Amino acid sequence: MIFSYNWLQLFFDKKLPKPEKLAEVLTMHSFEVESLSRKGKDLVLDIDITPNRASDCFSHLGIAREIAAILKYKFKTPAFVKTTAGKKNFIKIEVKDKNACPRYTARVIADVKVGDSPKWIKERLEICGLQPINNVVDIANYVMLELGQPLHAFDFDKLEGKKIIVRFAKKEEKITTLDNQKFDLNNNILVIADSKKPLAIAGIKGGKKAEIDKNTKTIVLESAIFDLRIIRRASRLLNLKTDASWRFEHGLDPNLTEQAINRAAALIQEMTGGKPVQGLNDFYPKKVFPKKIKLDLDYVEKLLGTKIPQKEIIRILKSLNFQCRENSSRWVMLEVPTFRLDISIPEDLIEEIGRIYGYEKIKPIMPLSSLIPPKKNENIFWQDFIKNILKELCFTEVYNYSFISEKDTEIFLNSTRTVLVEIENPMSVEQKYLRPTLLINLLKNIKNNIKNYEEMKLFEIGKQYKKDSRMGVDEKAILSVVIIKKDKRELFYELKGIIDLLLNKLGISDIWYDEYKVSFEDVKLWHPKKCAEIKIRGEKIGFLGEISPNILDALNIKKDVCAFEIDFERLEKLCSEESEYQPISLFPAAVRDLAVLVPKKVKVADVLNQINISGGALVRDVDLFDMYEGKELPEDKKNLAFHIVYQAKDKTLSSKEIDEVHNRIIKNLEKNPIWEVRK
Amino acid sequence: MDIKAIKKEAEKDIDSAKNLKELDDIFKKYLGKKGEITRILRSLKDLSEKQKKETGMLANKIKKELEINIKEKKYVLQSSDWLASKFQDIFDITVPSKKLLVGHLHPITIVRRKVEEIFQQMGFSVVEGPEVETEWYNFDALNIPKDHPARDAWDTLWLKPESQKLLLRTHTSPVQIRYMEKNQPPLRIIAPDRVFRHEATDASHDVQFYQLEGLMIGKDISAANFVAVIQEFFQRFFNKEIKIRLRPSFFPFTEPSFEMDINCVNCQGKGCSVCKQTGWLETLGAGMVHPEVFKACGYNPKFWQGFAFGVGLDRLAMMKYKINDIRLFYSSDLRFLEQF
């Protein structure tokens, strides 16, 4: 909110500190002063009032009270109406719902001459960002800025039935506001009406019907309190926010209405020659009295961690208008002024004491506490472990948005649309859904970086989100990896090697890749042939494959892209830090090569299995070093070439022993009539 | 012959030696059993005490020098082959280094690890919770009432259908609530994780970011304890002396509440464009846990008290690496990521 430096000065006889100094003390003890700027002869302070203090500090009076407490200044209150004319009050007030309107105060002022306001009122309104209209309206606004209570003035002669009724609007009732906007009302919206029609949307905006104009002679001033939730709801329903609605929806002191209306009456009397009529209309069925709080002085010290003398505590609270009713050496009984809607528990008082005393006086003290070692977070531990391995393997970690767009769903998904979680109020069309897989954004990363990079290895560990009938949304941590290379040969196998290595480092050895047969929910993403399920001990933990050429076309990526996804939560359960050293054989190893010509459809795994089974314990390792299909070979055939490493744990193998095993392998391979070992 | 003249001659001989054989002969000529230097050393006994001392010292010094000269020459002669070929090649050490491929961790991962390490050293456990939350954990349990303007401070992304009242957490405070429900104090935790806001994006705001929240609860954990812990954290994080200051603030879940500034890490508090000439950077929100929050978690506020704080990890990373746009973190631009 905007405050005028000169206006604040009016509350004090003593000169205020320089504006910069004032801004600093307010920032350190009350609210942040966001900016300070000159406007004519005045200075404008833009103060960020916290919402809990809206009830008393959306006003110059409130800020002046803060200044008085911080700087120990004496502080004056403005003048209120004293004299009233002989006529008796002649308006009737009827409040239909005392919960919606706990207090309604009205005053009639006769013989008003509507015209321009004096220069000083206009100037102050303008400095605070309000447009001057006429003297009556301006004074109502002036008092709102001064004391915080929104006021409204009606033209008495325009009221039908000389009556004001506070009620909820009827169905299909309409109102035209002062600025000529038309609103349809409903029974959730509270209105101020005469005996026939709504005159104003309660607490939000006045209507055209009883507008003050230059012919107005008699006015009804309103100063009321409305339920903050009702005002907030109406303001949202109508999408209408005003200086008044803003104050009402934060809550106001019910005891302020009378003060404010009398202040406005005094100014109207002075500026317009109006004559306030005898008597105040005041509907106030349930008077609000000050709360009492007992403050334990030891607790003040215990919570702030610093000792503040009792005398100082009492001085601070008194300077903020708290009444000290009783006190002992251990506690103080305090009465909270009703304008402090934010204070209800001892901790609230401790905040008041602390901030006025000065938080800078709280010196650091390391806590005394038992030596309880922090718990290891397995989830974070394994995430970090995996990130480190992938980093060693030259991968770059990305953090993508958790969202995808409508367009993304069209490109990447088909059947999965039903599991998509949609955002009710997305910030943009790009962020309409939560990502059902991390791959969508990773593939877009490749597309976006490809102008600068030919090869990329990216990974992300993050949440994917799917609709779930039981929990609403199933969010799951996923490890997702994509890779694109200049040389696209063996990309799939490279990624498979990365998975093997990664899993081995996580202490997992029983890895199996299963051909993927049935229709998979994300099938649109993957190449229909070059994909596999990743299984550990028979349990599916992820999926590996080439990205479907259709998708790559749509993204205009000209090279093959391979990817895998692993369910991180399942993986984590299988990880182990335990690993045992394998003794290095003291005896030499011998390598023999072996080439087999087999039909293309034969799986390498089948050949490998045969070699391992036939070779037995002496085969330490089998390594496929070449896989060839081509012109020199019969059609439908491929040549597989292996290094076989022979080694025993307890002796040096003689060449005769090796030949024996090697020949047994060859013999067994050739038992299959269409497999041909090339010697 | 004068000993210095012998030295000169010997040096000349060594210099002109063409092979190891010649060098060996030179060694014998001067330093061998019958070599000239050896002879001088042997003849010392015939000299007066004074002369003995002077000549002896000089001869020994020259002997050592010649020995080194011969050793060096020997090394040169032995290496002559490759010296001739390689040392005459022109070798340009200014050719740029070969670019090696390495992997990169995301800057937020790096900062998050640093933060976790510092707090773990101070006994804080790291805890996590779901990103999709209920109204209860995100607002109600944190003393942020329904239909109240206090809620406006957290612009929220809601999920469809509206009837489920599910949302994307706007802070990691729900993680703390979930933890308190299951654990008894005393406790020390931090929750660094992804959060979401329904907020227009610019260089310092994004719809998602990372928040670090901390909580310490005990019998007598005070604001003064908070100051000490948080100052220690910042000094370790930035590896330098950091001044902090607390200002009043408002959060529904703490009372008293603080806004915390640190002295500008860019200008050391002198005033610059980063801190808008104030010397201070608004960094963190904090306060003493509100009794209503304790009640919501099933703690008795009479017995427990403590501090809570929240700070943006993105913001810490931006300060540490002088990054000027938060959106870079989620751009996945490799030209950015490869710098970490």
Q: pLDDT tens for residues A63-76?
A: 999 999 999 999 88
Is B246 close to A347, i.e. CB distance below 8 A?
Answer: no
Tokens found for residue A247? 């104050």
Distance, CA of B297 to CA of B185 (rounded, Å): 11
Q: Which of A74-78, A257-261, A346-350 shows the lowest per-residue confidence on average (mean pLDDT)?
A: A74-78
Is B130 close to A32, i.e. CB distance below 8 A?
Answer: no
Is A365 close to B222, i.e. CB distance below 8 A?
Answer: yes
Say which of A350, A377, A473 has its CB closest to residue B159. A473
Residue partners of A393: CB distance under 8 A and separation at least 6 = A457, A498, A501, A502, B103
Task: Tell me which amino acid residue B28 is.
Answer: K
Task: Report the pLDDT value the prediction gives residue B91, as an integer from 0 to 100.
Answer: 78
pLDDT of A470 > 90? The answer is no
Is B245 close to A445, i.e. CB distance below 8 A?
Answer: no
Which of the listed residues A574, A605, A636 is the one where a domain comes to its end? Answer: A574
CA B241 to chain centre: 15
Give the strand pairing for B187-196 and B125-126.
parallel
Distance (Å) from the alpha carbon of A114 to chain B's nearest alpha carbon: 37
Q: What is the mean pLDDT of residues A196-222?
A: 94
Q: Is the previous residue joined to B256 through a cis bond, with omega within 30 degrees of 0?
A: yes
pLDDT of A81 > 80? The answer is no
Query: Whole-prediction pTM value?
Result: 0.86
Distance (Å) from the alpha carbon of B254 to chain A's nearest alpha carbon: 9
Distance, CA of B155 to CA of B200 (rounded, Å): 10
Kindly state the helix (H) or strand (E) to which residue A221 belongs, with its residue range.
Answer: strand A219-225
Which of the listed residues A314, A329, A360 is the one where a domain comes to its end? Answer: A360
Q: Diameter of chain B by CA atoms?
A: 118
Specify whether the CB–CB gap between A219 and A112 falls below 8 A: yes
**A277, A338: one domain:** no
The residue behind tokens 């300077």 is: A319
Distance (Å) from the alpha carbon of B41 to chain A's nearest alpha carbon: 59
Is A369 close to B109, i.e. CB distance below 8 A?
Answer: no
Burial B62-84 (b: 16+ CB within 10 A, else e): bbeebeebbeebbeebeeeeeee
Is A399 close to B330, i.e. CB distance below 8 A?
Answer: yes
Distance, CA of B339 to CA of A1 (rounded, Å): 43
Distance, CA of A83 to CA of A70 (rounded, Å): 36
pLDDT > 70 in chain A, percent: 97
SS3 for A323-376, per residue?
EEEEECCCEEEEEECCCCCCCCCHHHHHHHHHHHHCHHHCCCCCCCCCCCCCCC
pLDDT > 90 in chain A, percent: 75
- Give the CA-trace dihedral at A661, A665, A668, A673, to 10 degrees: -140
- For residue B328, is it left (φ>0), alpha (ψ between -120 and 50) or beta? alpha
**A122, A216: one domain:** yes
B-interface mutation test, from A376, A382, A423, most B Cβ less than 10 A away: A423
Residue A535 lies in a domain: yes
Radius of gyration of chain A (CA): 40
Distance, CA of A335 to CA of B85 (rounded, Å): 99
Q: What is the mean pLDDT of residues A215-237?
A: 94
Measuring CA to CA, how many Å separate A649 from each of A538, A609, A659, B139?
31, 22, 18, 65
Specify whether the CB–CB gap between A640 and A626 falls below 8 A: yes
Question: pLDDT tens digit string along B94-113?
Answer: 999 988 889 999 999 999 99
Distance (Å) from the alpha carbon of A448 to chain B's nearest alpha carbon: 8
Q: Which of A548-557, A612-621, A625-634, B144-153 shows the lowest per-residue confidence on average (mean pLDDT)?
A: B144-153
Residues of chain B with Cβ-Cβ distance to A396 below 8 Å are: 103-104, 334, 337-338
Question: pLDDT tens digit string along A150-181?
Answer: 999 999 999 999 899 999 999 889 999 999 99
Say which of A360, A453, A462 has its CB closest to residue B334. A453
Residue partners of B3: CB distance under 8 A and separation at least 6 = B37, B40, B55, B58, B59, B62
Is B256 close to A355, i.e. CB distance below 8 A?
Answer: yes
C-beta contacts of B118-122 below 8 A and 24+ residues apart: B118/B232, B118/B233, B118/B236, B118/B237, B119/A374, B119/B190, B119/B214, B119/B233, B120/A374, B122/B188, B122/B229, B122/B232, B122/B233
Neighbours of B235 (CB within 10 A): 16
**A340, A417: one domain:** no
* Dihedral sign computed on CA atoms, order A418, A421, A425, A430: negative
Task: Report the pLDDT value the prediction gives residue B84, as an integer from 0 to 100.
Answer: 63
Measuring CA to CA, how many Å separate A316 from each of A144, A335, A352, A355?
27, 14, 8, 10
Is A366 close to B101, i.e. CB distance below 8 A?
Answer: no
Residue A368 lies in a domain: no
Say which of A364, A367, A458 has its CB closest to residue B231. A364
**A279, A297: one domain:** no
Say which of A351, A387, A475 has its CB closest to residue B109. A387
Question: Among A115, A121, A171, A157, which residue's Cα sits nearest to residue A141?
Answer: A121
**A295, A278: one domain:** no
**A391, A528: one domain:** yes
Question: Among A421, A237, A434, which residue's Cα sits nearest to residue B161?
Answer: A421
Question: pLDDT tens digit string along A181-193?
Answer: 999 999 999 999 9
B-interface mutation test, from A340, A351, A371, most B Cβ less than 10 A away: A351
Task: Report the pLDDT value the prediction gives residue A238, as an integer from 0 to 100.
Answer: 94
Kindly state the helix (H) or strand (E) to which residue B316 belongs, with its residue range.
Answer: helix B313-321
Residue A425 lies in a domain: yes
Residue A582 lies in a domain: no
Is B229 close to A367, i.e. CB distance below 8 A?
Answer: yes
Distance (Å) from the alpha carbon of B250 to chain A's nearest alpha carbon: 6
Distance, CA of A397 to CA of A387 (rounded, Å): 8
**A400, A333: one domain:** no
Residues of chain B with Cβ-Cβ distance to A426 below 8 Å are: 157
**A642, A668: one domain:** yes
Residues of chain B with pLDDT under 50: none
Residue A585 lies in a domain: no
Domain harbouring A47, CATH code: 3.30.56.10
Residue A412's pLDDT band, with cuts at 50, 70 and 90, is confident
Say which of A348, A355, A445 has its CB closest to residue B248. A355
Specify whether the CB–CB gap between A2 and A128 falls below 8 A: yes
Question: pLDDT tens digit string along A479-525?
Answer: 999 999 887 678 899 999 999 999 999 999 889 898 876 554 556 88
Distance, CA of A67 to CA of A46 (rounded, Å): 15
Distance, CA of B208 to CA of B195 (rounded, Å): 6
Specify whether the CB–CB gap between A207 and A175 falls below 8 A: yes
The residue behind tokens 């989100």 is: A465
Residue of B nearest to A28 (CA): B247
Distance, CA of A456 to CA of B101 (rounded, Å): 11
Give the strand pairing for A403-404 and A433-434.
antiparallel
Domain harbouring A615, CATH code: 3.30.70.380
A-interface mutation test, from B102, B259, B334, B338, most A Cβ less than 10 A away: B334
ipTM: 0.88
Which residue blocks in A188-238 are alpha helix, DSSP H? 228-238
Is B104 close to A397, i.e. CB distance below 8 A?
Answer: yes
Distance, CA of A434 to CA of B338 (rounded, Å): 27
Residue A579 lies in a domain: no
Which of the listed residues A512, A543, A574 is the one where a domain comes to its end? Answer: A574
Radius of gyration of chain B (CA): 38
Distance (Å) from the alpha carbon of B200 to chain A's nearest alpha carbon: 7
**A158, A220: one domain:** yes
Domain harbouring A108, CATH code: 3.50.40.10
Tokens found for residue A637? 């055939």
Residue A467 lies in a domain: yes
**A428, A568: one domain:** yes
**A545, A561: one domain:** yes
pLDDT of A317 > 90? The answer is yes
**A192, A259: one domain:** yes
Would you mind telling me the total number of residues written for chain A in this entry?
679
How many Cβ pairs closer than 8 A exist between chain A and B? 226
Is B126 close to A377, i.e. CB distance below 8 A?
Answer: yes
Distance (Å) from the alpha carbon of A279 to chain B's nearest alpha carbon: 36
Phi and psi, residue A218, nearest 5°: -120, 135
Count of domains in chain A? 5
Residue A366 lies in a domain: no
Residues of chain A with Cβ-Cβ distance to B291 below 8 Å are: 345, 347
* Dihedral sign computed on CA atoms, order A651, A657, A659, A665: negative
Domain region containing A178: 85-283
Distance (Å) from the alpha carbon of B229 to chain A's nearest alpha carbon: 6
pLDDT of A575 > 70? The answer is yes
Distance, CA of A533 to CA of A566 (rounded, Å): 10
Task: Report the pLDDT value the prediction gives residue B277, as an integer from 0 to 100.
Answer: 84
Tokens found for residue A135? 């003297």
Specify whether the CB–CB gap between B157 and B196 falls below 8 A: yes
